């Protein structure tokens, strides 16, 4: 990674740390550990903006030109072609998470991402979208075994390993995943000898309970906290998923989003009902039976 790319990478981390701090002016050269002249060169090139300046200090922020930032981080055209143009289109809001996941996805070397937060947030939707990528493989943490994960990865050799419910994985599984993320190697017994397999693999995972994940494994991830939907956000997400992914009639999709508001925050409930109902009357019948 070039010095310029390292500055941008650190700036991304700082901006994510302060995303909810309305009083944050931006980072200074000492926060980035970079020379002021290098930061000013990035301003001239349109990659940074001066957010605040006084006689004693200058504060910087990343520019809004995501394409330029991705290019500076070393994104290759092949990676851009592999990303579906409608990736994350069904997810309403969550703009900061979308941006960080996209940058991690497009990085020239693996950047592993862990989405964490309460049940029925957008974690699974993000992972389901990522599972659409070419050479992606999806795994459910609660159903894995140590041999299963190793064999699964070595047989499919995915570029992107998508793991939902990471916190439910068997403790024996964590060591194999840790090795994959840290060194890109997995060990397996073959012909009575241990062989090391090497592969380049991005890991995207979701978890509800962070306390069950070992600290050394959590440290390998860029951690993004997801928050519960508001009622309005839930309705927007349900409509987007049902119309764009499930191809449900927009009138029925809107009705389902409204009738489930206050009963659940899980988009999967809406998908299940939409798949079983072909009319508003059937939606009402299903809702009465499921949410007694």
Architecture of the structural domain at 3-70? Orthogonal Bundle (1.10)
The SS3 assignment for 93 reads coil
Contact 61, 69 (CB under 8 A): no
pLDDT tens-place values along the chain, 292 residues long: 457 777 887 888 788 788 778 889 899 988 888 888 888 888 887 888 898 889 889 999 888 766 566 655 554 444 444 678 888 888 878 889 999 999 998 888 889 999 998 877 889 889 989 998 988 988 887 665 545 676 778 777 888 999 998 998 877 778 888 888 888 877 765 555 556 677 788 999 999 989 989 999 999 999 999 988 889 989 998 999 999 889 999 999 999 999 999 999 888 899 999 999 999 999 999 999 999 8
Distance CA 249, CA 76 (A): 39
Distance from the first to the final alpha carbon of the chain: 56
**Both tokens assigned to 22:** 């309305």
Task: Say how many C-beta atoms besides its own lie within 10 A of residue 95's C-beta.
Answer: 11
Question: What predicted TM-score, i.e. pTM, was given to this entire model?
Answer: 0.65
Domain boundary assignment for the chain: 3-70, 75-225, 231-290
The residues, any chain, with a CB within 8 Å of residue 175's CB and separated by 6 or more, are 146
**Strands (DSSP E) along 179-270, which ranges?**
185-190, 193-198, 202-207, 221-225
Helix (H) or strand (E) holding 260: helix 250-260
Distances (CA, A) of 264 to 63, 95, 138: 38, 23, 25
Q: Do domains 3-70 and 75-225 have the same CATH topology?
A: no
Contact 55, 67 (CB under 8 A): no
Per CATH, is 75-225 categorized as 1.25.40.20?
Answer: no
Side-chain half-sphere CA neighbours of 19 within 13 A: 13
Distance CA 97, CA 115 (A): 9
């Amino acid at each position: 990674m070039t010095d310029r790319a390292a500055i941008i990478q650190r700036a991304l981390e700082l901006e994510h740390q302060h995303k909810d701090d309305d009083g944050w002016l931006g980072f200074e050269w000492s926060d980035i550990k970079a020379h002021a002249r290098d930061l000013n060169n990035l301003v001239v090139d349109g990659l940074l903006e001066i957010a605040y300046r006084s006689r004693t200090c200058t504060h910087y922020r990343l520019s809004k030109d995501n394409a330029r930032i991705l290019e500076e981080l070393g994104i290759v055209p092949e990676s851009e072609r592999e990303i579906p143009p409608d990736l994350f289109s069904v997810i309403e809001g969550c703009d900061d998470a979308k941006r960080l996941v996209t940058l991690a996805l497009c990085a020239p070397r693996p950047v592993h991402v862990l989405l964490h937060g309460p049940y029925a947030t957008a974690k699974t939707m993000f992972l389901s979208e990522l599972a659409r990528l070419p050479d992606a493989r999806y795994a459910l943490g609660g159903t894995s075994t140590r041999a299963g994960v190793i064999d699964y990865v070595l047989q499919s050799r995915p570029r992107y390993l998508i793991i939902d419910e990471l916190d439910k994985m068997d403790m024996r599984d964590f060591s194999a995943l840790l090795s994959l993320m840290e060194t890109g190697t997995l060990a397996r017994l073959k012909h009575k000898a241990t062989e090391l397999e090497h592969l380049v693999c991005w890991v995207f995972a979701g978890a509800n309970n962070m306390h069950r994940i070992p600290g050394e494994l959590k440290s390998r991830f860029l951690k993004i906290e997801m928050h519960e939907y508001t009622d309005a956000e839930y309705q927007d997400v349900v409509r987007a998923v049902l119309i764009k992914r499930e191809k449900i009639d927009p009138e029925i999709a809107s009705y389902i989003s409204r009738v489930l508001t206050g009963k659940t925050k899980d988009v999967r409930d809406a998908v299940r009902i939409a798949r079983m109902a072909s009319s508003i009357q059937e939606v009402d019948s299903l809702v009465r039976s499921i949410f007694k």
